[in-house]
Amino acid sequence: EVKNTLRANKYSFTIHPDPRHLTDRVATRDPLGNDVLFLTEPTTFSMPASPEVKPLPVQESTDDEFDLTASPTRKNIGILTSGGDAQGMNPCVRAVVRMAIARRCKPFFIYEGYQGLVDGGDKIREAKWSDVSGFLTLGGTMIGTARCKKFREIEGRRTGVLNLIRNGIDALVVIGGDGSLTGADRLRAEWPEHVAALEAEGKITKEQGSKYRSLMIVGMVGSIDNDLASTDMTIGACSALERICESVDAILSTAMSHQRAFVVEVMGRHCGWLALNAAISTGADYLFIPEAPPKHDDWEASMCKTLKASRDAGKRTSLVIIAEGAIDRHLNPIKSEYIRDILATRLGYDTRVTILGHVQRGGAPAHFDRFLGTMQGAEAVEAILRATPQTPSPVIGMLENKITTQPLKEAIELTGQVAQAIEAKDFDRAMGLRAASFAKQLHAYKEIANYNPDSKMKLPEDKRLRIAIIHAGAPAGGMNTATRSAVRLCLNRGHTPLAVHNGFPGLMRGEIDELDWLSVDGWTIAGGSKLGTNRDQPEPQMGAVAYQLQKNRIDALLVIGGFEAFTAVLQLERARAQYPALNIPIVLIPATVSNNVPGTDFSLGSDTAANVIVQATDMIKQSASSNRRRVFVIEVQGGNCGYLAVVAGLSGGSTTVYTPEEGVDLSRLQRDIAHLRSRYVAELGRSEGRVTLCNERASKIYTTEMISQIYEAESGGFYGARTAVLGHLQQGGTPSPLDRCRANTMAVDAINWLQTRCWDAMEVPNEDGFRLPAGQLKRKYFPPVYASTPDTVAVLGVIGSEMRFTPVTDLVANTDFERRVSRTIWWLAPRQLVDILCGVGVDIKNGGCTTNYKSCAIELTADDLMRIYGQHRRLSKLIDPAELEKLQLAEEEKEATGAKASQASAGRF
């Protein structure tokens, strides 16, 4: 009609396709020469400067991917948070809401937890896409949580069922602690009974009763205590640890000034994870946790002796970390005030107590909690869509760096047994029910925390080693922490730690000196590289390297660094035949923000860098949001590895990410520009700020600046584009607690490995009875430590939740040396979520999505949990010694019967 009218009045006009409607936009000029744009919806402020860009069609999904456009059943999913709040709950809620919409489901907020479920009314309402904008940066829970006594009664739960049915909700996602999840599973078990009762009372119709015969429950653990036994990390634990470390790092400054002692109390009624990791991350001198109480009744004397030894060595401060649930071996509580009085009266220390309390629950979520909450939220929706009425209620967790779905009932039972074991004074069992890394971390902490000049750990003189430590490559958070832990462990065992300054050039020049206990004090929280580091390789001066190793009688070498360190270690291994002095055990601890070292899932510094990117993204988004119409293209590091861009893009809410693995081309830019324009048109006047993360080497042609210019040139006036280059900010700053804890564990494992390899290589066989080939010397003519086999040069990597040593020669085939990356890429699973959760390819109004998502969760059964946490047939039998004895007898009888049958069968043949 508009076109006909303009033609009839002889007005010239142009046609512009509308990417969101079947009709076109019509542009013309009024008699005064002003631009006029005719649309099929409310007016905008400007017309496009160039024709609209149409998105390209998306390829068909493959068989092993879920097609988001073809959900078998449309679900109405209620979302509630319950129990204590935890950072990361909001990112989790955001992921559930947006993934539900993308999967053609309808999400509902249930405000104030189970109280809102019972109250109903306006406490339950449909959630829209825009309702969760900005949730990533917010701590706590924006939909509220509350204690609800009514829900503990059957009538209260029946009222909750009625409210769910009235709102058409047939699935429930619960984010909370073990009590909240237990309540949800109980509600599901009682559901048929409640539906029948409501139908009999006439409160619901027969049709409603038939339609809502079952309820699907999915749980996610939001707990800062990290107290779910069957998961490595719970939502909120990492952020709470960051709050503790920030506070203690600040406390240590004033403690240093006044030579004070501080007793810091952290949360953890039945779980000492926060206290243990805070002690490791801050270099605390003493620790109290509920799972491992002091072994002796006179623990006060032992504590005072330990703290005094550190002070006598020259330390100016004393720091004691205590969990709120700390006890002695008789289950008597250990209070922070009591420890303060002991230190003041027995040692005369000026002692202060700091109880951090709810500070630990506050603040913006850390990168890892955002990442974990987002991944688990998306998988919760997938679990609902896969489930049948017979499927056990699952809880979404994380084991060995993989998202898992586990049977909720058994997971909660396993968790409850920790408190029961503590109550029964079975502390070994309590430790065994924690993650395998928990006991290992505690043992490592006890070895390193205190100065022990007369330690029982001191080794015989002939077992003591000279171990050199060198940094190579670019600096990364955690390098100094690993060095400190290695040095102190060496000193307590009687080894001599040697610092090699300024990388391999420093080694060639002989810049080597001994390190003592006090010289590495404070290195836990120090960023960068205290020893100095560079990218130079040893190969040009390998003779000088060998000379210095021999001159300084170095028995083993610990290398900490990135891909340059990896290639340097490989060069040392290949030069062994030419230089005998290189035949010593060598181990590499990967440390690089790029996370591109083969043989490991995580490198030291990568978590710190991701936190820096996420924090910068939050601040840049604020600027973009204030302007209402601005997109920032942020350049991040990573070399040819897109790890940082992907994980930080997911945690920071990036609209999309550009990585070297995917590359950048015009079709990709067209798709992204079309999405941006459609969103800014729809949000006109109330647009949120948007950011795009671009790896520094995503494309040689389409650089960060060029992408920004293309964005703006094709914006049609709906938005502007700017760039931000974070640069070396990502390599600096205080290491994150996760990097500090990994550094400590890796350093201890590295020293243990070097120690064992050296001792094995010190054995001299009796060669007097046989003749060696010509030109080959007998072993007794070589240095005391002579390790020439390939397995004595290794990379120490984090594979899942396990520390694994891989010979460097075995990693060559898995390495792309030209691009300087590993050929194994485990972190691409969340890539599609970045686009989906920011609306790329999603029909935000009607639901559905053209972007395919491949679920990455691993489904575990009760038997799987049994195999992981103990050799028992049923998790319910773990706590009962009598049942355990019966199972063991049954197993022995079964084995005996099998052996007899085998013997009889063998006799027949």
Listing DSSP states for 163-215 in one string gives HHHHTT--EEEEEE-HHHHHHHHHHHHHHHHHHHHHHHTTSS-HHHHHHTS--
DSSP 496-550: EEEEE-SHHHHHHHT-EEE--TGGGTTGGG--S-SS------SGGGHHHHHHHHH
Cβ-based burial of 45 (10 A; exposed 0-12, middle 13-18, buried ≥19): exposed
As given in the structure block, the two tokens for residue 604 are: 């030291």
Order the strands of the 657-658 sheet from edge to edge: 657-658, 690-695, 630-636, 720-725
The predicted structure's pLDDT at residue 432: 80
**pTM for the full model?**
0.86
Q: For residue 784, what are the contacts with CB-CB under 8 A and spacing of at least 6?
A: 555, 762
The predicted structure's pLDDT at residue 886: 53
Neighbours of 886 (CB within 10 A): 12
DSSP 766-816: --TTSPPPTT---GGGS-S----SGGGEEEEEEETTEEEEEEGGGGGGGEE
The predicted structure's pLDDT at residue 889: 56
The residue to which tokens 């489901």 are assigned: 105
CA–CA gap between residue 757 and residue 301 (Å, rounded): 37
- φ/ψ of residue 842, rounded to 5: -100, 135
As given in the structure block, the two tokens for residue 831 are: 């890539």
The predicted structure's pLDDT at residue 905: 38
CA–CA gap between residue 706 and residue 905 (Å, rounded): 76
CA–CA gap between residue 584 and residue 550 (Å, rounded): 10
3-state secondary structure 562-603: CHHHHHHHHHHHHCCCCCHHHCCCEEEEEECCCCCCCCCCCC
CA–CA gap between residue 368 and residue 184 (Å, rounded): 26
Name which of 230, 207, 743 is nearest 477 in CA terms: 743
The residue to which tokens 């048109």 are assigned: 681
Rounded to whole angstroms, what are the CA distances from 568 to 312, 563, 640, 793, 873?
40, 8, 19, 11, 49
The residue to which tokens 């490991």 are assigned: 600
Neighbours of 865 (CB within 10 A): 22
- List, for the chain, all residue ranges whose pLDDT scores fall below the cut of 70: 18-22, 41-73, 455-456, 685, 764-782, 868-909
Write out the H or E segment, with its range, that includes residue 383. Answer: helix 367-386
CA–CA gap between residue 474 and residue 547 (Å, rounded): 25
Rounded to whole angstroms, what are the CA distances from 526 to 481, 484, 504, 732?
7, 10, 22, 9
Order the strands of the 14-17 sheet from edge to edge: 14-17, 24-29, 35-38
Amino acid identity of residue 66, one-letter, is: F
Amino acid identity of residue 13, one-letter, is: F
Name which of 370, 401, 384, 91 is nearest 233 in CA terms: 401
Q: What positions carry a catalytic annotation?
A: 225
CA–CA gap between residue 651 and residue 643 (Å, rounded): 12
CA–CA gap between residue 709 and residue 161 (Å, rounded): 54
Name which of 360, 124, 381 is nearest 244 in CA terms: 360
